[in-house]
Amino acid sequence: MVLAHNRFVISLAAVAYAAAWIVLAAVLLGAIAGCERASTPVPTTAGSQSQPAAIELLNVSYDPTVELYADVNKAFAAQWLAKTGQTVKINVSHGGSGKQARALATGLQADVASLALGYDIDELVKVDVIGKEWQAKLPHNSSPYVSTIVFLVRKGNPRGIKDWSDLARQNTEIVMPDPRTSGGARWNYLAAYAFGQKKFAGDEAKTLELIKKIYANAKSLDSGARGSTARFQRGEGDVLVSWENEALLLATKKSGEYQVVVPSISVRAEPPVTVLDKWVKERGTAAVAEAYVNFLYTPEGQELIAKHFYRPQDAGVLARYHTQFQKLQLVGIEAFGGWQKAHAEHFASGGKFDGIVGK
């Protein structure tokens, strides 16, 4: 009986000893597994597989596009979110087109440029911000909308302004921007030049004399088109020489205060919109920037363009807004030999404009 009891005690001790080792082994294995989990980094991103990280774009634009891009940005952001699940915020910088182009050429990093004329985009080719074939990448020379230059006068047109020659009359005060900083102002000048060439059968001296009288009636020249509009709204001047979209916007918002006068001849202004290759590559925004620019050519984008008084490129949309845009003779930049020639001849230092204003 004693022997049997001893065997029983020994058996219990063995079981306890084995159990202790099992518990210790489990603790050690847990500790090792914990160490392995702690040493394995957990990936962290701003977004997730189901929710891509938010992204921002910068569109550097010219003065009078404020209202247009406010609506375009809202519509595109909603469409992009529905399509991709990604939130996009679009910031816009506005200013005189020439001034904006210089900022981009000297290092301002943006994803999109929507400026007043092709020459300002061409300047970015020289500093490798964009490729030289940029106009061929999108329809209509990369211009999703068209505009022209018209006059805005006070209700009743008390000065009887009808055409460019009326702007040369004495005691007519004109409000308009400076061609040295504003893209719209360069279109203004070229429209007056086209009128002079037609009126005087190509006589250069008489054309320049007419333009000189027009600019002599401007007490000052603003850096951008929106600055000229603001001055005219404050009661300065008899006539505002303006983008058509800007004139129609103000005449609509302030019904009863202003009226639009369409001259006999003006310019077919094609403000370009393009992706800035260098910066979208560095910022990783190429896909969304390209989609944003292409949105302007969609039916929804073209409808917004017409709503904001720009002439859409889509013939169907344009037809629905035909009463909004008066017909007139429009002269394209090709009539001036293209932007490179026009700039060198008229707007470069020592060009015809400098001769007119005496600088």
Please spell the DSSP secondary structure of 23-43, one letter per residue: HHHHHHHHHHHHHHHHHSPPP
CATH number at residue 248: 3.40.190.10
Q: How far is Cα 39 from Cα 33, in angstroms, rounded to an integer?
A: 10
Instruction: Specify whether the CB–CB gap between 113 and 58 falls below 8 A.
Output: no
Where does residue 84 rank: exposed (0-12), middle (13-18), buried (19+ CB within 10 A)? middle
Residue 218 Ramachandran class (φ > 0 left, ψ -120 to 50 alpha, else beta): beta
pLDDT at 35 exceeding the cut of 80 = no
Confidence band for 14, pLDDT divided at 50, 70 and 90? very low
Q: How far is Cα 145 from Cα 269, in angstroms, rounded to an integer?
A: 9
Query: DSSP state, 177?
Result: E
Q: How far is Cα 234 from Cα 222, in angstroms, rounded to an integer?
A: 14
Mean pLDDT of 348-359: 92
Q: Is residue 258 part of a domain?
A: yes
Residues 227 and 338 in one domain: yes
Instruction: Specify whether the CB–CB gap between 183 and 118 falls below 8 A.
Output: no
Bigger pLDDT: 22 vs 68: 68
How much is the mean pLDDT over the chain? 89
Residues 300 and 161 in one domain: no
Residues 62 and 161 in one domain: no
Q: What stretch of H or E contains 185?
A: helix 183-199
Q: Is residue 15 part of a domain?
A: no
Mean pLDDT of 245-269: 96
Q: Is residue 307 part of a domain?
A: yes
What pLDDT is recorded for position 6? 40
Residues above pLDDT 70, as percent of the chain: 86
Q: How far is Cα 190 from Cα 333, in angstroms, rounded to an integer?
A: 9
How many domains is the chain partitioned into structurally? Answer: 2
What pLDDT is recorded for position 49? 64
Residues 184 and 195 in one domain: yes
Q: Which of 232, 188, 233, 244 is nearest to 214 (CA)?
A: 188
Radius of gyration of the chain (CA): 33
- Classify 329 as helix, strand or coil: strand
What pLDDT is recorded for position 48? 58
Q: How far is Cα 134 from Cα 141, in angstroms, rounded to an integer?
A: 8
Q: What do you get for the CA distance between the two ends of the chain, in Å?
A: 128
Q: Is residue 28 part of a domain?
A: no
Tokens coding 193: 């030049």
Q: What order do you get walking across the sheet with 112-114 strand by strand?
A: 88-95, 55-62, 112-114, 273-275
Residues 174 and 186 in one domain: yes
Q: How far is Cα 59 from Cα 273, in angstroms, rounded to an integer?
A: 9
Q: How far is Cα 281 from Cα 109, in angstroms, rounded to an integer?
A: 11
What pLDDT is recorded for position 255? 84
Residues 262 and 350 in one domain: yes
Instruction: Specify whether the CB–CB gap between 75 and 304 falls below 8 A.
Output: yes
pLDDT digits (tens, 9 = 90+) for 118-160: 999 999 999 999 999 999 999 999 999 999 999 999 999 999 9
What pLDDT is recorded for position 47? 55
pLDDT at 293 exceeding the cut of 50 = yes
Residue given tokens 């990936």 in the structure block: 43
pLDDT at 161 exceeding the cut of 70 = yes
Q: What domain range is 352 assigned to? A: 149-268+328-357
Q: Which of 318, 308, 313 is nearest to 66 (CA)?
A: 308
What pLDDT is recorded for position 51? 81
pLDDT digits (tens, 9 = 90+) for 39-84: 323 222 355 566 899 999 999 999 999 999 999 999 999 999 999 9
Q: Which of 119, 233, 250, 251 is nearest to 180 (CA)?
A: 119
Residue given tokens 């970015």 in the structure block: 124
What pLDDT is recorded for position 212? 98
- Classify 63 as helix, strand or coil: helix
pLDDT digits (tens, 9 = 90+) for 165-200: 999 999 999 999 999 999 999 999 999 999 999 999
pLDDT digits (tens, 9 = 90+) for 84-122: 999 999 999 999 999 999 999 999 999 999 999 999 999
Tokens coding 205: 């001296």
Amino acid identity at 208: L
Residues 350 and 203 in one domain: yes
Residues 238 and 339 in one domain: yes
Residues 252 and 111 in one domain: no
Residues 164 and 233 in one domain: yes
Q: How far is Cα 65 from Cα 83, in angstroms, rounded to an integer?
A: 26
Confidence band for 358, pLDDT divided at 50, 70 and 90? confident
